[in-house]
Each structure stands twice: as C-alpha cells, then as structure tokens.
Structure 1
C-alpha cells in the first residue's frame, strides 16, 4: 500500500512538471515580448563583454592594468567597427539591392526552365508535376521577398536608431568588463552554494565553448567561401558569404540552412553554377566539421541532437533569432548544472571575486 502511494505521488509530480514548465515558458515569452529590445541590448552587451574579456586578459598578461586594457580593447573594437562600416557595408548594401532586383527576373527564367522539364516528364509519362511544384516555390520566394523589402527599407531608415543601439551596446559592454565580475559574484552568493557553484561553472563553460567556437567556425566558413566563390565567378559573393557565416552561428542546422539558401538563390540564375557552389560549400563544411570543429569545439554540451532541436524551437518561439543563438548554451548550462548537482564534487567553494570572469 505504501509503495503504491509512493508511485502515485511520483507520477503526480511528473504529471505536474509538464504544465508548470509550459506555463513558465509562456510567461517567459510574454516577458520577453514586452522587454524584447531591452533584453536584446543587454544580452548582446553581455556576449560582447564576454568575448572582449579574452583580449583584455591577454593585455593584462603583458603587464597592463585591467582598466587600461579595457580601454585599449574598446578603442580597437570601435576602430574595427568603423573600418568595417565604411568599407564593407556600402558594398554589402549595394549587392543586396542588386540581388533583390534580380530575383524576379531569375524567377521568370526558372519558370521557363521548369516548363521544359515538365514537358520532358510528360512525354515520358512520369507522374511528376514539376511545373506546379516550381510555381508554388516561386510564389513562396516572391512572398518572402515582398516581406523582406519593407524590412530592408526599415533597416535603412532606422540607421540612426541602430547607431544609438550600437553605442549603447559598447558602453554597456565597457561597464560589464569593469564591474561585471562583482555583479556576477554577488548574484552567485544569492543562490545556495550547492546550486550556485555548479550553475556558474556550467554557464561559463557552455557560453565560453559555444560563442568562441561558433564565431571562429563561422568566420572560417565566411572567409573560406569568398575566394572559392570569386574563383567560380559567383555573383554577390559578399552577400552569400555573409549569409553562410551568419547561418553557421546557429548550431546543428545552421550550415545546411545557409548552404541550402545560397544554392537555391544561385540556382534561380544558373543551375550548373549552383551545383558547383553546393559541392564547394559541402567540401568546406566537411573540412570544418572533421578538422576544425573537433579541435575548437568538442562535445561542449553533451546534449542529444533531439534535445538540441527542441532547444532551438523553444528559443525561436520565445525570443526569435536571439533565442536561437542562446538556446543551445542555455540548454547545455541546465544539463551541466543538473549533472553537477546529481554528482557533486567533494567540496563546494565559491571562487574568489577576482577570479570570476564577467557574466555571459
């Protein structure tokens, strides 16, 4: 009787976990929707401070005090942003505009090619509606372009707002580099050491491995495709390299999304060139996955691929693109914290304040 009561209590607890988690996720999405801009600025500032802390430490190792190292790193960051904005940004905007103007004509040309393939299939009595499939695909692409055009216009009109946000992010990152360690140490002390120490260690480990490795691998792909696309005479090389590089930041599925999107866009103009682009990108991706990724990244989360997909979907639903970017390290942090609590170390001591890096 007692055993049956314990089993009933256990199943009751398990049954309540699902609704509670769902309610918390819904509340979190509503909270993020209300403070989305503020949370985005703070999150980007924290990530930037986390990454800039590495060169700050490098300057400290050569004898420069932390305050001076922070000023030097921030000035170098601002200079690099200014150089990129004045050199690459006009080229990217020009190529993006040209690409958007060229896609409707490419869609019309692709329809004519699909008509030829559809006639070929009909002559051989193949039960394939190539023309219908191509028409639906073209309609979807046109709708996405129509939705993207106002967003691009809004981006151009919101340049001043973007400049203000950029300045705000840099200023916040500066103060996080200065005072983030004290804040992080104080927050950890609000949590019982049994939970606070494993949570802090897991958070630092996952965010360190994820952002550092994903950014390095994304830079490799973006920079590697530029000479390859230039040799293949692919138009809009910088735009396509940016698409592939940004998509690489999304773990597990980003590579396929970026390469697939670029291949599809090129196929609208030249299917033979699109095949060469796909082969070249797959080769670079194999180099990235088999040679670079194991050394740079490793198995930093230990998550099952299915849980990675679930984390990405939850992150997309809760916080959009930003949610996708931080979903996997947050999921890895939760798993690492639970594992550390289940298998605790012999002693739990919160590290001294001076040894804690700024929050990620």
Structure 2
C-alpha cells in the first residue's frame, strides 16, 4: 500500500513538470499573438493601481469617486504633458548627441588601450587589449549602424507610442471607475478557498513592489543628477534616467544600469567612469541597506534563485514589461499557495481535535 502511494506521488510530480512547461509555452504563444492588447491592458492596470491611492485620498476629502478619478487623471495628464514638453526634448537631444559621439569615444578608448597594450608588451605581460578592444568597437559600431537605419522606424514608433499612451489613460480612467466590479466578478469565479488568498496576496505583492520600487528608482535617479553635474558628466540627465529605470528591475537592475553607464563613460575618460561607478555604487548601497529594508522588506519571501528564474521567464515571455511584473506575480503565487496550505493544515488540526474530543 505504501509503495503504491509512493508511486502515485512520483507519477504526479513527473507529470507536473511537462504540464507546467506546456502551459508556460501556451501562455507565451498567446502573449505574442495578443502582445499589443496585453501590453496596453497591463500598463493601464498598473497605472490605475497606482492612481487609486490619490483617488482614495481625494475621496476622503468628501469628493465623489467620479470627481476624484477625474481630478487625479487630469493632474496626471498635465504632469505627463509638462514632462513631455520639458524633459523629453532634452532626453531625445542628449540621446542623439550620445549616439553621435560614441564613435569618437571608441577611437579615444582604442588609443588608450593601445598605449596600455604597448606597456604590457614591454613588461612581457600576456595581454592583447588592442585586439579585444577592436572586437568590442566593431560590435558597437554595427549596433550603431542598425540604430541609424531604424531612425524612420523610431519616428513611426513615436506616433504609435502616443496613440498607445492615450489608450492607456482612457483604459485607466474606466478601470478606476469600474475596475472593482470587474475584479470582484473575476475573483468570484474562483472557489473561495483560492480566490480570497489570491486577492489578498496579489494586492499585497503589487502594492509593496510597485510603490517601493518606483520610490527607490526615483531616489536613485534624482540623487544621481546633482552628483553627475558636480563630476561634470556628459549627458547627466540621460545617464541618471537610465540608471533610475534599470533600478525597477529587482536584484540585477542596479548593477546593469551602473555598469552600462560606467562602460560608456570609460570609453571617453577612464577616471570619470571610475568615479561615476564609485558614486553610483555608494548611493546604491544607501538605497539597498538604508531605504530598501524600510520600504521593501521581505515582501515576497522568495529565494533569490527563484527571483532570477522569475525574471528570466518574464523576459522570455513579455520582454521588459514581463521583467517588471515577474517578481510580484511570483510572490502572489507563493503567497496564495502558502495561504491554501495553511488553511488545509488548520482544517486537519481541527478534525484531529474533534476526533480526540
């Protein structure tokens, strides 16, 4: 009897892996087919989720739900327009200047590495920095050629992005008004033992993740701007924004953003890149060790290995958007399973106590 039960468990676990892999593959195919629609819906849902906090504050100030939603949306659109008029042209201009100067930076870097390579040969060191630099420079130049050829596509993408932004705001407006009814209806389709813990875990994970990650990313971006200006870093706003956006990615985002900026600056000036890396790393340590624990905490309880796996799966399935939502979704699954398991254990203990009585 014990052997048959053991074989049944092995069979269940053996079939679980292929079934999960098949479901993931099907979800990936569905997302690729409906990628545009899913992206707009997810972005609108995230925006509505974030805007719901100020909406609740205005509702406490005796405003109706419709009035609060309208006011918050108007203010948000106004802020986006102001940012689009002031910051976006600066970022676009700095991006164009950066792409134009990278070839000169590559030549400067090649000359510096050539001098270092000559010094290494004079001291009989087995280094081939010049050949390594040449391969990297060729790769970067090919990528720049691809970017230049896609300039028209970028212009068309800008128009499509504007249309998508309008759709996101319109959908977010309706989600703020009627989203609770739709959400409750979807949750009610699930059995109560699964629906209730799923709803609570989803709200907790998305609340802790997005609020904390956005605030921490904003801290990094805003704190780096004056530091870059003091160090006379070229394209200070663009590089600070790049690191701030990369901070939205858990675990690897900080190293990724700082690493890219450091490499780009070292092409022009090695010591400037070095000091930028030091300053950004110090701020990143303040973020991780001082601000992060107070704001984030152990909000998912996930092992770092599982977080990496979730990030890779999100990247494979949905690109950057998948990376952003992968960790809170993984935390939601974990929290739901733990809640269901705790409920089962509580029921078993209750039955055991009743049998004893």
1:69-218 superposed matches below 5 A: 69-151=68-150, 153-218=152-217
Question: Match for residue 49 of structure 2?
Answer: 50
Question: Match for residue 350 of structure 2?
Answer: none
Question: Match for residue 27 of structure 2?
Answer: 28
The alignment partner of 1:343 has SS state of helix
Measured in 2, the distance between the counterparts of 1:99 and 1:277 equals 17
Structure 1, unaligned runs of 5 or more: 349-360
CA gap 1:347/1:212 in 2 versus in 1, 3 angstroms: farther
Measured in 1, the distance between the counterparts of 2:345 and 2:304 equals 31
Q: Tell me which of the two structures has the higher relative contact order, counting C-alpha pairs closer than 8 angstroms and 6 or more residues apart.
A: 1
Return structure 1 stretches of 4+ with deviation > 6 angstroms: 345-348
Residue 304 (structure 1) aligned with residue 303 (structure 2): yes
Name which of structure 1's ranges 269-278 and 15-24 shifts more when overlaid on structure 2.
15-24
1:238-249 superposed matches below 5 A: 238-249=237-248
Measured in 1, the distance between the counterparts of 2:77 and 2:150 equals 26
Name which of structure 1's ranges 64-73 and 337-346 shifts more when overlaid on structure 2.
337-346
Measured in 2, the distance between the counterparts of 1:21 and 1:127 equals 49
Residue 220 (structure 1) aligned with residue 202 (structure 2): no
The alignment partner of 2:234 has SS state of coil
Question: Match for residue 262 of structure 1?
Answer: 261
TM-score by length of 2: 0.94
Question: Match for residue 277 of structure 2?
Answer: 278
CA gap 1:345/1:3 in 2 versus in 1, 3 angstroms: closer
Q: Displacement, 1:121?
A: 1.3
CA gap 1:134/1:207 in 2 versus in 1, 3 angstroms: same
CA gap 1:24/1:249 in 2 versus in 1, 3 angstroms: same
Measured in 2, the distance between the counterparts of 1:307 and 1:148 equals 34
Measured in 1, the distance between the counterparts of 2:151 and 2:221 equals 22
Question: Match for residue 14 of structure 2?
Answer: 15
Structure 2, unaligned runs of 5 or more: 348-357
CA gap 1:213/1:142 in 2 versus in 1, 3 angstroms: same
Over the aligned positions, Cα root-mean-square deviation in angstroms equals 1.6
Measured in 1, the distance between the counterparts of 2:236 and 2:324 equals 25
Question: Match for residue 231 of structure 1?
Answer: 230
Question: Match for residue 342 of structure 1?
Answer: 341
Q: Displacement, 1:153?
A: 4.1
Measured in 2, the distance between the counterparts of 1:21 and 1:145 equals 40
Measured in 2, the distance between the counterparts of 1:214 and 1:299 equals 13
CA gap 1:345/1:206 in 2 versus in 1, 3 angstroms: farther
The alignment partner of 1:177 has SS state of helix
Name which of structure 1's ranges 298-307 and 159-168 shifts more when overlaid on structure 2.
159-168
CA gap 1:60/1:346 in 2 versus in 1, 3 angstroms: farther
Measured in 1, the distance between the counterparts of 2:322 and 2:268 equals 34
The alignment partner of 2:93 has SS state of helix
TM-score by length of 1: 0.93
Measured in 2, the distance between the counterparts of 1:86 and 1:345 equals 56
Q: Displacement, 1:143?
A: 3.0
Question: Match for residue 354 of structure 1?
Answer: none
The alignment partner of 2:190 has SS state of coil
Question: Match for residue 354 of structure 2?
Answer: none
Q: Displacement, 1:128?
A: 2.2
The alignment partner of 1:268 has SS state of helix
